[in-house]
Amino acid sequence: MDIFIELLILMMSLCALIWGATQFINGSILISNIFGVPKIFIGLTIVSIGTSAPEIGVSINAALNNSTHLAVGNALGSNLANVGLVLGFTACISAVPFNKSLIKREIPILVIVTALAGICLFDNALGRSESVFLFLMVIPISFYLLSTFKDSQKKLEDEVENTSAHNEKTFGKAIIPFFIGLIVLLVGAEFTVNSSQTIAELLGVSELVIGLTIIALGTSLPELAASLISALKNSHEIALGNIIGSNIFNIVLVLSLAGIIAPAELPSQTFWRDFISMAMLTTMLVLVILSKLKIRINRQNPQ
């Protein structure tokens, strides 16, 4: 009987997750349109950090309980899921276009922070000093994205200069679904992970398997839901920006917070298996974008 109750909770949680993602993306799109903000910027910042909140919560909670290994595995596993699962599923729903801005601005950041993560994990340990360095990377990244936003904003001034009165009224309508959607999105993800964990335990699956699969995949559900809804609404810039931005913040926030709170020695497979797998998948994504800039990821070629 317990298994059926947990399955019911899981289904309800998934429904809440999708509904929250819908409202959250609706609010994001409205805010983007109101202020003339490029959708790729919205995806890289607000949506990415918002949908990375479960990973951040898991990282802090795990580190406080001296489970740094779980936090590190969650960060790396979530990045694997974002590229392999989220981008792949999103491409199955709708073709995802690439643009030159992606290569010039966002991809270099992803490559740099991925390389820095590799340097930090190479010695089979996650120390506090290197974690602080990773965390401080948030500052230059934020300034860089802000400068990118300002450059794009100049091109849009003529389009939005006469819309301020309308924007004030519309902003109130946009901010409500944005925050309500974000809250429901995160709560839905939390219940999804919890119910999935209980189901796995009832079925006799080991805690190691739970940590490596359900937690990493579960905390990636907000990225999956947000990206799928964005693709269905033809807001492809938000979908792709969300995936890349989330992977960036998973490293500079999720991974770094675990090391700052609870530095720890790590097993060798953390680097040679988990990080290398993440780095290889990230490299494949970058190579696809570089070699097929003018071609969309479509149903025949998902990542």
Residue 303 lies in a domain: no
If pLDDT is split at 50, 70 and 90, which confidence band does 251 have?
A: very high
Residue whose structure tokens are 């009165």: 165
**What is the pLDDT at residue 114?**
95
- What SS3 class is residue 36? coil
Rounded CA separation 170/174 (Å): 6
- What SS3 class is residue 126? strand
Give the residue among 11, 10, 13, 22 at the shortest CA–CA distance from 225.
Answer: 22
**What is the pLDDT at residue 209?**
60
Among 48-52, 179-183, 262-266, the range scoring the smallest mean pLDDT is 48-52
pLDDT in tens, 189-245: 778 777 777 877 787 875 556 666 777 777 777 778 777 877 777 776 667 777 888
If pLDDT is split at 50, 70 and 90, which confidence band does 302 have?
A: low
Residue 298 lies in a domain: no
pLDDT in tens, 90-116: 878 777 766 666 667 788 899 999 999
Give the residue among 115, 158, 91 at the shortest CA–CA distance from 275.
Answer: 115
Looking at per-residue pLDDT, the higher value among 275 and 216 belongs to: 275
pTM of the full structure: 0.73
Task: Provide the Cα torsion 142, 18, 286, 71; round to 10°.
Answer: 70
Instruction: Print the domain residue range for 224.
Output: 2-291
Residue 180 lies in a domain: yes
Rounded CA separation 108/299 (Å): 26
Whether the predicted pLDDT of 122 surpasses 80: yes
Residue 17 lies in a domain: yes
**What is the pLDDT at residue 159?**
41
**What is the pLDDT at residue 148?**
65
Residue 296 lies in a domain: no
The per-type count for the chain, helices as H runs and strands as E runs, is 18, 2
Rounded CA separation 172/243 (Å): 27
Intra-chain end-to-end CA distance of the chain, in Å: 39
Which residues on neighbouring strands pair with residue 265, listed in sequence order? 125
Residue 300 lies in a domain: no
Rounded CA separation 185/222 (Å): 7
**Structural domains counted in the chain:** 1
| CATH number of the domain within which 201 lies | 1.20.1420.30
**What is the pLDDT at residue 194?**
78
What's the mean pLDDT when you consider all of the chain? 77
pLDDT in tens, 125-176: 999 999 999 999 988 887 777 676 555 555 444 444 444 445 555 777 778 8
Residue 101 lies in a domain: yes
**What is the pLDDT at residue 94?**
74
Rounded CA separation 90/95 (Å): 8
Residue 28 lies in a domain: yes
Note whether 14 and 192 are within 8 A (CB): yes
**What is the pLDDT at residue 175?**
83
